[in-house]
Chain A
């Protein structure tokens, strides 16, 4: 299982986190329906670095973005998001 470095709690087991979505799929409520559908449902799905939104649900409950290499699971560039930033 992966180890994810939470900016607040330090490196923690993957099981404490929830994957939410790739960052490109974060939609704003004021987006047009077509743009919304495109962002929500059309994904890049890269083989390689993927910028993702995760939540440390069973830790500090805060939200982070990180880059995960989908081929190697290397995790880099972890940043707090929103309230925790």
Chain B
């Protein structure tokens, strides 16, 4: 038998078990300064720009949709603080977080994926919502050698197993 040298650089990665999150869905009634100000005061971080993630004391704030961000923290408290400017819902149970760490994370996300995770412009501070191994995900690089993969709990175990193959 012969084994031709594969063109893939098979840098190793480690894949964590799916972790719970504390995500809270914040949908602004209007993407205006009143919202931005109230958000900053309640969350402790600016509303992220399109496709970006900002860091807040309680955890990352992830841009999700036009006028929708996912903040971390206590949903009831955020709802109370933002009720004039936004609709706030607890979605902590709707997302799990899988950590993929190691030099090969970019290549690993290309398998059964659709998004250009090998593009160096996709780096810490960015978020990409896409499909990976048939599951809707949000990809958030957290360092040169780490990415958080957010996925719904129903898909989480299949995704974890596929990433770890």
Contacts and interface: CB of A to CB of B under 8 A. Distances in A.
Contacts of B64: 60-61
Contact of B129 (A9, A80, A83, A84): A9
A58 B65 contact: no
Interface in B124-141: 128-131, 136
A21 to B, nearest CB: 21
Given A8-B50, A9-B51, A9-B128, A60 B66 contact: yes
A35 interface: no
Interface in B106-137: 114-115, 128-131, 136
Interface stretch (A12-20, A26-34, A37-45, A70-78): A12-20
Interface residues of B, number: 13
A59 interface: yes
A67 interface: no
A68 B131 CA distance: 23
A8 B131 contact: no
B54 to A, nearest CB: 17
Contact of A12 (B50, B66, B67, B130): B130
A58 B67 contact: no
A66 B65 CA distance: 19
Contacts of B51: 8-10
A58 B130 contact: yes
A5 to B, nearest CB: 14
A65 interface: no
Given A60-B66, A84-B65, A16 B131 contact: yes
Nearest to A11: B116
B65 A12 contact: no
A8 B63 CA distance: 11
Given A13-B114, A16-B114, A16-B130, 6 more contacts: A16-B131, A58-B129, A58-B130, A60-B65, A84-B65, A84-B66
17 contacts: A8-B50, A8-B51, A9-B128, A9-B129, A12-B114, A12-B130, A13-B114, A15-B131, A58-B129, A58-B131, A58-B136, A60-B64, A61-B65, A62-B65, A83-B65, A83-B66, A84-B66
Closest 8 CB pairs of A and B: A84-B66, A13-B114, A58-B136, A59-B129, A58-B131, A61-B65, A60-B65, A8-B50
